[in-house]
Structure 1
Amino acid sequence: MRAEPEEAKDDPFDEEPPRLLRQPKAVWATAGASVVAFMGIGLVDPILPSIAKGLAATPSQVSLLFTSYFLITAFAMLLTGWVSSRIGGRRTLLAGLALVVVFAGLSGTSSSVAELVGFRAGWGLGNALFVSTALAVIVGAAAGGSAAAILLYESALGLGMACGPLLGAVLGDASWRYRFFGTAALMAVGFVCITAFLGEQPRPARKTGLLDPVRALGHGGLASAAVAAFFYNYAFFTVLAFTPFVLNMSPYRSGAVFFGWGVLLAAFSVLVAPRLQARFGSLRVLGGSLVLLAADLVALGYGNHAAAVTGTVLSGAFIGLNNTVFTELALGVSDAPRPVASAGYNFVRWFAAAAAPFLAPRIEEWTDLHIPFVVAAGAALAGAAVVGVRRASLTHPHQASPGPRGASPEPAAPAAVTN
C-alpha cells in the first residue's frame, strides 16, 4: 500500500523503468510455468457445460470442481511457507508441479463428478505449492529489482488468465478430457524447464511455523485487507464459475468471451492500475473499482444475452484493478514478514473462492437466475465498505513511497499473492 498522492513527494514515473525483458533463464522458466499454472484456473470455464453434459451432472455438482480446488488451496496456504522454508523454493516448485501433472492427468480419466472433484482437490494442493512460491523465486532471481519482478509476475498471471479459457475451448471442443491432459503435458514441460534452468534458492534465516500466517492476521491492517478481499473474491468467482452456465454458449464462443475478459484483466492489472494509483491513490482506486464491479454484476444479471456477454468481458477490467491493489496491500500493509502476511491473507480470501462456485448455482435453484449476481454485487459493495471504514488501518505509516511505475517497496522474498 502506498501513500496517497498528496503525501508522496516523488513522481513514480520519473524513475527508471524496470528492466522487464532482460531476465535470466531461471526467471523466464519460472514465469512461463506460472503462466500455465494460472491457465489452470481459467481453462475449466468454457467447458463447464460440456463436463456437466459428459458426466450427466447438474451445474451445482460441476461447480464443486472450483470449490474443492480452492478449499484445498486455502488450507494449503498455511502449509506452503512451512514447506518452502525447510526444503527450499526450487524443491517446493517442483513438488507443486509434479502434483499438478499427476492430478491433472487423473482428472482426464474421471468417470464421475465425485472422482473429478477429488482429483481437482489434489490439483489445488499442487498449484498452491507452486504459485505460493513462484513470486518469491522470481523476486530472488530477477534483474531490475522488485518492481520488474512484480510486474513480470502480474504479466504471467494476466497472460495465463487470458489464454486459459481460449485453450480450454480449443481442447474442450473435441473432448472435455483433453483439457486436463493438455494441462498435465504443459506443466510437465514447466517441470523440465524449472529443473534445467533454476538453481537451488536460499532458505530463510528462520523457518516458518504452521500457525504464523494466522497470528499475522492479528494486525488490523492485514485483517482488514483479508476481509475486504474475501468479499471481493466472492464476486470475482461468481463471474468465473457461474457465468458460463448463464451464457450457455459453445466452448469456442464461451472461450472467446473469457479471452476478452482475460485481456482486460491483464491490461488493467499491469498497465492501467499503476497509473490510476499514482494519480488517485490505491484506496480510492480500490473502493471505486469495487463499486463499479458491483454495478457491472447487476447489469450482467438483469440484462439480455448481449448485456451478459458485455458485462462478463467488462468485469475483467475491474478485477484486474482489484487484483493489483489487493496484492500490494497484502505485501505491504503489515509489519509481519511478507511471506507470512501473504499466506495469512490468502488463507482468508480463498475461502470465498471456494464458497462462490458452491453457493451461486444453489441460490439460482432456490430463487432465480438474477439473485446470484445480486448477492455477488452485495459482496463487492461489502468489500468497498470495509476499505472505506478501515481506511486508517490500511494506510500503514511504515511504508515507503512508491517505486518505479507505482510498484510496492522492495519485498523481502514475499510469498505470491495468487490473484
Structure 2
Amino acid sequence: MTSPAAPGRRVPEAVHRRRWAILGVLMLSLLIVVLDNSILNVAIKTISTPAPTGLGATQSELEWAINSYTLVFAGLLFSAGLLGDRLGRKKVLVGGLVVFGTGSALAAFSGTPAELIGFRAVMGLGAAFVMPATLAVLMNVFERDEQPKAIGIWAGGVGLAIAIGPITGGLLLEHFWWGSVFLVNVPIVVLAIGLMLWLVPDSRDPAPGRIDPLGVVLSVTGLVLLVYGIIKGGQLADFGDPVVLGAIGGGLAVLAAFVIVEKRSDHPSIDMDHFRNKVFSAAIAAIALVFFALMGVTFFAVFYVQSVRGYSPLETGLLMIPLAAAQMVFAPRARLLVDRFGNKATTTAGLLLLAGMLAAFAALDSDTPIWILEVVFFLMGAGMAHVMTPVSVVIMQALPREKAGSASALSNTFRQVGGALGVAVLGSVLSTAYRGSVRDELGVLPPGARHAAGESIEATLAVAERLGPRADALAAAADDAFLHAMHVTALWGAGVAVLGAVVVAVFLPGRTPDPGDTETEERLVSAAESADG
C-alpha cells in the first residue's frame, strides 16, 4: 500500500514506472562484485600451478591476491559512499564499474603474481564505489512501502551470486585459461554500464558528509602492514623474525593512531562512539569472526578438494553448492528462531554449529566419503545463516535510526576485514604447520630448493613432478603433511568461532523488540544489506 504520510509519490512517475528494471540493473552491477570473490575461490589452485597452466603463485602470493582486493575495498567503502552522496550516485556507480572492468581485464592477462595482486587492488577500488551506491540508488527509486521487498530481492540476488560463482569459475577453467575468471567480468560491466546510462536516474545527498582522507590512509596502511606481517610470518614459518615483528607492530601502531584520529575528527570515517554500545560492538565482532572463519576455511578447502582429493575446478564448484544453498534456505527463516528463542540463543547456537563444522575438518582424510564433506558444508552454511541474519538486525537496532547507513557500512567493512584477516592468519597457520610436517621429506632436494618447496602442497607437488621415481613418495608425503596442516588450521578456526559464541552469549540481547514497534520495524529495512553475505 502507499504510505499515508505522503500526499503523492516521492519518486517521479517516470522513474517509478521503471523501478523494477532499475533494480535489475543494480543487481547486475552488484553481481560482478560479489561473483568475483566466490569465482576466485575455485581458481586459486590453478593460479598456483606453474606456467603455462597458471602463474606459479606461492601460497603467500595467493593470500595477497585475495586480500589486496578485500583490504582496498574495506578501506575505501565509507569514503566511496560519501563521494556518491556528494558527486551523484549514478556517476560514482558508472565510474566504479569502469575501474572494476579495467582492473578485471588487466588481471586476466597478468604475467606475474605481483601483477595479479596489483590489478586485484584496482578491482577492489572499483568495487568500493559500486556496493554502497547500488543500495543508495535503490532507496531513491522505491517508495518506502516497497523498499523492504526491493531490498529482499537485492539481497537474494547477492546470495545467488555467491552460489553460482564457484560453478561459473569451474566451467570457465574447464574450457579456458585461468584469466577467464577475471575476463568474464568485462562483458557484464559493459552491459551494466549501458543499461545504467539508459535507465538509472542520478541522485545525491543535499547535505553530504565530508571525506576523511587521513583516516582512509591510516586504516589501509595499518591493515596492509598487519596482514603483511602475518602472511610473511607464515611464509617464513618464523613469527619472531624482525621483519615480521616490525610489520605487525607497525600495523598495530598505525591502527591505534587511526582510532585516535577518528576520535578527535569532526568528520570521521568511523564514529568510534558507536563502539561504546556493547551490543553493537559484539554484533560487529560476530560478523568479523564469522567471515574470518569462512574465508580461511574456503582457502584451505579448495586445496583439500583439488590437490588431495583430485577433483576438477568444476567439480569443486559443485561441491560448494551446499554451503551457499544452506545460507539461501535458512537466512530468510532465521527470524523464526529469533522470535522464539531470542537473538542471544540463536546467534550463539549458530556460532557453535559453525565451530563444530570447522572442527569436523580435523576428521577429514584423503579417503573420507565425499558426502561427509557435503554435510559439513551444508551445516556450515546453516550456522552462518543463523548468525548473519539476527546479528545484522541487532546492528540496525543498536544505533539510532538516523545512523542506519553508518551501521550498515560498518557491518560491510568489518565483514571484509574479518575475511582478510582470516585468509592471512589461517593461511599462515596452514603454511607453518605444513612446512613443519613436510620438512623431513624434503631432504632429497638441494638445500636451496627446500624452503620454496615447503611453503605449500602445490609447491611440493611441482617439485615432485621433476623427481622421476621418487615423485610418488614425495607426493604422498605432501598429502599427509597437508592433511595434518588442515587439521591444525581447522581447529584454530573452530577456536575463533567459539570465541565469537562467547562474545555474543555475554553481550547480545536475549529478547527481540515487540513486533508491533513501528519505528523498529522501519529500522530493519536497512538490515538486509548487512545480511547478504
Per the TM superposition, whether the score is higher than 0.5 is yes
1:204–1:391 Cα change, 3 Å: farther
Name 1:252's counterpart in structure 2: 314
Name 1:183's counterpart in structure 2: 185
Contact 1:45-1:244 at 8 Å conserved across structures: yes
Contact 1:74-1:347 at 8 Å conserved across structures: yes
Q: Does 1:225 align with 2:251?
A: no
Distance 1:400 1:141 in 2: 30
Name 1:83's counterpart in structure 2: 83
Aligned length: 392
Q: Does 1:375 align with 2:376?
A: no
Distance 1:137 1:378 in 2: 40
Name 2:195's counterpart in structure 1: 193
Instruction: Compute the displacement of 1:89 (Å).
Output: 2.1
Distance 1:89 1:395 in 2: 38
1:107–1:414 Cα change, 3 Å: same
Equivalent position SS for 2:43 = helix
Task: Spell out the pairing of 1:337-356 with structure 2 (5 A cutoff).
Answer: 337-356=403-422
The C-alpha deviation readout for 1:220-241, integer Å capped at 9, x for no partner, is 1322222222222211212332
5+ residue gaps, structure 1: 1-21
Name 2:41's counterpart in structure 1: 45
5+ residue gaps, structure 2: 1-17, 213-267, 434-484
* Structure ID, larger Rg: 2
Distance 1:170 1:322 in 2: 31
The C-alpha deviation readout for 1:251-308, integer Å capped at 9, x for no partner, is 11101012332222222223x2233333333332211111100001111232234233
Distance 2:284 2:503 in 1: 10
The percentage of counterpart residues that share the same residue type is 22
Q: Does 1:308 align with 2:369?
A: no
Q: Does 1:329 align with 2:391?
A: no
Distance 2:43 2:320 in 1: 12
Instruction: Compute the displacement of 1:125 (Å).
Output: 1.9
Stretch of structure 1 that moved more, 311-320 or 118-127: 311-320
Distance 2:98 2:68 in 1: 19
Q: 1:287 aligns with which of 345, 348, 358?
A: 348
Q: 1:401 aligns with which of 511, 515, 520?
A: 515
Task: Spell out the pairing of 1:12-411 with structure 2 (5 A cutoff).
Answer: 24-53=20-49, 54-142=54-142, 144-173=145-174, 174-203=176-205, 205-210=207-212, 211-220=268-277, 221-248=279-306, 249-270=311-332, 272-304=333-365, 305=368, 306=370, 307-335=372-400, 337-367=403-433, 368-392=485-509, 401=515, 409-410=522-523
Instruction: Compute the displacement of 1:78 (Å).
Output: 2.9
Instruction: Compute the displacement of 1:204 (Å).
Output: 5.1
Stretch of structure 1 that moved more, 200-209 or 88-97: 200-209
Stretch of structure 1 that moved more, 30-39 or 214-223: 214-223
RMSD in angstroms over aligned alpha carbons?
A: 2.7
The C-alpha deviation readout for 1:132-154, integer Å capped at 9, x for no partner, is 23223223323643321331122
1:414–1:247 Cα change, 3 Å: closer
Read off the aligned partner of 1:30 and give its amino acid letter. Answer: L
Read off the aligned partner of 1:356 and give its amino acid letter. Answer: G
The C-alpha deviation readout for 1:132-190, integer Å capped at 9, x for no partner, is 23223223323643321331122011111001111111112221111110022212222
Contact 1:261-1:316 at 8 Å conserved across structures: yes
Name 1:4's counterpart in structure 2: none
Contact 2:327-2:385 at 8 Å conserved across structures: yes
Equivalent position SS for 1:130 = helix
1:191–1:273 Cα change, 3 Å: farther
Read off the aligned partner of 1:39 and give its amino acid letter. Answer: L
1:112–1:90 Cα change, 3 Å: same
1:98–1:155 Cα change, 3 Å: same
Equivalent position SS for 2:522 = coil
Distance 1:301 1:74 in 2: 31
The C-alpha deviation readout for 1:3-31, integer Å capped at 9, x for no partner, is xxxxxxxxxxxxxxxxxxx9521112112
Distance 2:422 2:88 in 1: 34
Equivalent position SS for 1:63 = helix
Distance 1:27 1:94 in 2: 15
Instruction: Compute the displacement of 1:242 (Å).
Output: 2.5
Distance 2:528 2:384 in 1: 21
Name 2:241's counterpart in structure 1: none
Instruction: Compute the displacement of 1:70 (Å).
Output: 1.2
Distance 2:172 2:269 in 1: 41
Instruction: Compute the displacement of 1:416 (Å).
Output: 4.3
Distance 2:388 2:114 in 1: 31
Read off the aligned partner of 2:355 and give its amino acid letter. Answer: A
Contact 1:133-1:415 at 8 Å conserved across structures: no
Stretch of structure 1 that moved more, 316-325 or 125-134: 316-325
Distance 1:344 1:214 in 2: 10
1:178–1:380 Cα change, 3 Å: same
Distance 1:41 1:323 in 2: 19
Higher relative contact order (CA 8 A, sep 6+): 1
Equivalent position SS for 2:110 = coil
Contact 1:291-1:381 at 8 Å conserved across structures: yes
The C-alpha deviation readout for 1:326-355, integer Å capped at 9, x for no partner, is 332333321252122222333334222111
Distance 1:124 1:222 in 2: 27
Distance 1:408 1:378 in 2: 35
Name 1:13's counterpart in structure 2: none
Distance 2:326 2:74 in 1: 26
Distance 2:44 2:185 in 1: 16
Distance 1:137 1:259 in 2: 31
1:235–1:287 Cα change, 3 Å: same
